[in-house]
Structure 1
Amino acid sequence: MDPLEDVLALVGATSHLSAALAAGGRWAVRFDPPAGVKFNSVRRGDCLLRVDGVPEPVVLAAGDCFLLTRPRAFTLAAAPDIPPEPAGPIFQAAVDGVARAGTGDGVFLIGGAFSFTERARALLLDALPPVIHVPAATPEAATVRWAVEEIDAELRGEPLGGRLVAEHLALVMLIRVLRLHLARTGGSGWLAGLADPVLGPALRAMHARPAQPWTVAELARVAVVSRSTLAARFKEVIGRGPLEYLTGWRIELAADRIRRGDDTLASIARAVGYGSESALSVAFKRTTGLSPRAYRSRFTLAG
């Protein structure tokens, strides 16, 4: 796995498709803040997207798609001056998987949401802007359009297992949108590090072998730079040093194993690079504020 795959696996991304939206005439629909990451693709027509806290509206054309990465209310509309209707009743009245707003169906959108585990915001979402817009006219957006077209075909054709296939395709779309975002902007935090020619090799090495007793010197050799260059670049791009990053990732892996299974703390410690349960406990409590046993008890009680 590369670091992006690692993080997506750790945050447990799952997709949920909603009813499509057909709209025409003078229409506007106001949506409550989504619980996860919301996505929509414009299959036909054009409209405006306004997101609370984002100053400028986004003009959406046929073939465009977008991700909303924050729990913020948003509005889709034919024009900026139209009073919006609440989305709830419109989607509750959906027929054959299509909700309708205004008059006609000159605009058609498909969409849904991605759900994540509780660590997703710190590990992934905080590194993203509130809105990621992928215009259809962008040459590199072809792969995203392919995924959206396949989702649309699965939902319209209703073959056996079509909805499950569509939900898996939505995850493919999420990964491709994240790739496009990195290619266009470089991202921030560890996402920016993935696209960095110095940090990328070091990050991939740590993720491939987290239990290895890495030193800054060894990571610098992987990145083919000096120790001082690697350390300074980590601080500049990711905001912490390479060994601080490694500690944080090891604790994320340990926390995931504690949440999911019945492994002993000693075996978890060895798996993530600590020589003993006590060494893991010290690092775990320093990072999370809880001992591994207290963390496990919290999730046992919650379940």
Structure 2
Amino acid sequence: MDPLSEVLSLLPIQGSVFAGLKAGGDWAIDFPPPDGIKFNAIVAGGCWLTVEGVEQAIPLEAGDCFLLSRRRAFALSSDPTLPAIQADEIYRHAAKGIARCGTADGFFLLGGRFAFGDEAALLFDGLPPVAVIKGGSEQASVLNWALQRLAHELATASPGNAIVVQHLGHIMLVQVLRIYLAQEGSSTPGWLLAISDPRIGAAIQAIHADPARGWTVADLASIANVSRSTFALRFKQKAGIAPLEYVSRWRMQLAAHYLKANRATIASIAHTLGYESESAFSHAFRRLMKCSPSEYREKQKFTLSYPENGWLSG
């Protein structure tokens, strides 16, 4: 399994919300920072997108899609200079999941919001706060299709809804991440940039294939087919962290998954991940997670909907 697929397999959708928006005439809506990742597709008409911290408003037209990967306020409007109303003022009156704003309905947007949990930091670090996929591309057509299927699933009580929604969320996420990986000139250090580099990506794939191994920088440099010093420098430039720090963080990602997903003993988890003792594992876990494995497991019983604070970020 490639690293992106493996990370996604550990990334359950903890919550999802679908809504549509019809608007026309002069209109402008302010939205609060979204909880989770927000996908949107313009089905008809056009609008302006303004995102907190992004200098220029972004024009969007039918067929375009965009993803918001940060907790930042944003606005949609027919003209970014218009005074805006708050989103809750119109969405509280939504009928069958569709809100209306303005004096006509020439504009139509479908949107989905997904909460992926604490593991998502590994994927989204390095992404811009907003990613726009222009209409006419294969990626945009897939996102449009997935959002429309999502609308159908959430509007129709059918057997298997939950698993279909989860897979649609993953499909949309993979498409956006593929677009990011295909971009030329992407330079912000992060996990996605690292796995897109053939040499560094090969080392990361080896780590994922055997996380319990006592990896050294020399081992990983050999897999990347470069010198130890060149590998260490290039890994830090691409991933934003040192190679062995990445090994530790990936082990903790797996440990968090095991602690949440099953009742395996902490000692057995430590052994599975290559630690010589439970105490060595607990020390490493506490360093990154700021709590002991047992405390983390207990906390997850009550706070599964609340992600940790970016502990896998560079």
TM-score by length of 2: 0.86
Shift of 1:205: 1.0
Shift of 1:14: 4.8
Shift of 1:176: 0.7
Asked if the contact 1:147–1:170 (Cα under 8 Å) also holds between the matched residues in 2, the reply is no
Q: Does 1:110 align with 2:114?
A: no
Q: Distance in 1 between the 2:149 and 2:116 partners?
A: 26
Q: Does 1:288 align with 2:284?
A: no
Change (3 A) 1:144 1:168: farther
Instruction: Identify which of 137, 147, 152 aligns with 1:151.
Output: 147
Shift of 1:279: 2.1
Q: Distance in 2 between the 1:252 and 1:14 partners?
A: 17
Unaligned runs of 5+ in 2: 305-314
Q: Distance in 1 between the 2:66 and 2:302 partners?
A: 38
TM-score by length of 1: 0.89
Q: Distance in 2 between the 1:93 and 1:264 partners?
A: 49
2:309 alignment partner in structure 1? none
Residue deviations 1:132-183 (CA, integer Å, cap 9, x gap): 111125xxx4133224224325636967459654553232011110110121
Residues 1-303 of structure 1 correspond to what in structure 2 (within 5 A)? 1-14=1-14, 16-121=16-121, 123-137=122-136, 141-152=137-148, 155=151, 160=158, 164=162, 165=164, 168-184=167-183, 185=186, 188-300=189-301
**SS of residue paired to 2:118:** coil
Q: What amino acid sits opposite 1:244 in the alignment?
A: E
**SS of residue paired to 2:40:** strand
**SS of residue paired to 1:127:** coil
Q: Distance in 1 between the 2:12 and 2:146 partners?
A: 23
Shift of 1:15: 5.8
Asked if the contact 1:151–1:166 (Cα under 8 Å) also holds between the matched residues in 2, the reply is no
**SS of residue paired to 1:170:** helix
Q: What amino acid sits opposite 1:227 in the alignment?
A: R
Q: Distance in 2 between the 1:301 and 1:109 partners?
A: 35
Asked if the contact 2:18–2:150 (Cα under 8 Å) also holds between the matched residues in 1, the reply is no
Change (3 A) 1:149 1:298: closer
Q: Distance in 2 between the 1:162 and 1:54 partners?
A: 39
Residue deviations 1:84-119 (CA, integer Å, cap 9, x gap): 122113122122332111122211110010102234
Output the aligned Cα RMSD: 2.4
Q: What amino acid sits opposite 2:225 in the alignment?
A: V
Change (3 A) 1:231 1:36: same
Shift of 1:27: 1.0
Shift of 1:302: 5.2
**SS of residue paired to 1:124:** helix
Q: What amino acid sits opposite 1:148 in the alignment?
A: N
2:310 alignment partner in structure 1? none
